[in-house]
Amino acid sequence: MARSRILGPLPVSPRLRPLVARDRALAALLLGAGLKVGEALACSVNCADLRGGWVAVPSPPAFSPRRALLLPWAAEPIARWIGMAGSAPSGPLFPGAGGKPLRESSAFRAVARLIEESGADVSARGRLSPQTLRNAYASDLIGRGESDEMLAQCLGYARVFSARRIRQAWDSWGR
């Protein structure tokens, strides 16, 4: 997905501006912090440390809490959305109807729409998904020279071995 679709100007229509800002902020969390859709929807407004460049990723009680590195370009669309939404700090970052978190099906449709509008190769559309954005985030981290330990932390892997497998796939794909 072209980052310009996430960073670009919002539509003029007052009715569409908040929806597009929300969808772009959601895509920014997936592509710029590697969150899964369910993790992004579980975030409250105060999960994002935009100045520090981290996102505190909510996790079920059985899992250890983690932080994901927020790529610098992703802070702007998230900040724009937070400013427009006016949600309470402990409220959901992406509220749906009645102030409850947005439904996963709605989030998937929003991201699919952004991917389609991005001009991505139509022949590959069947493979483009929120997981594709997460994979692109992992690729960005590897390209930036991040360690396997950092990759594992940011993606929420319990074992560094999983991050090494991602790096091996990235290395072989790049050859």
- The domain tally of the chain equals 1
pTM score: 0.83
Residue of 69, 35, 30 whose CA lies nearest to 49: 69
Q: Which residue has the tokens 């809490």?
A: 65
Q: What is the pLDDT of residue 12?
A: 66
Handedness of CA 166, 167, 172, 175 (dihedral sign): positive
Q: Dihedrals φ, ψ of 56, to 5°?
A: -80, 115
Is the Cβ–Cβ distance between 8 and 56 less than 8 Å?
A: no
Instruction: Please report, for the domain that includes residue 58, its CATH number.
Output: 1.10.443.10
- How much is the pLDDT for 53? 94
| Residue ranges making up the domain that contains 72 | 3-174
Structure tokens at 21: 């800002």
pLDDT, tens digit only, all 175 positions of the chain: 556 656 666 666 777 788 888 989 999 999 999 999 989 999 988 898 999 999 999 877 666 778 899 999 999 999 999 988 876 667 889 988 777 788 999 998 888 888 777 766 545 445 667 788 888 899 999 999 999 999 998 888 888 999 999 899 888 886 5
pLDDT of residue 87: 66
In this prediction, residue 122 carries a pLDDT of 44
Query: For residue 22, what are the contacts with CB-CB under 8 A and spacing of at least 6?
Result: 81, 85, 94, 102, 110
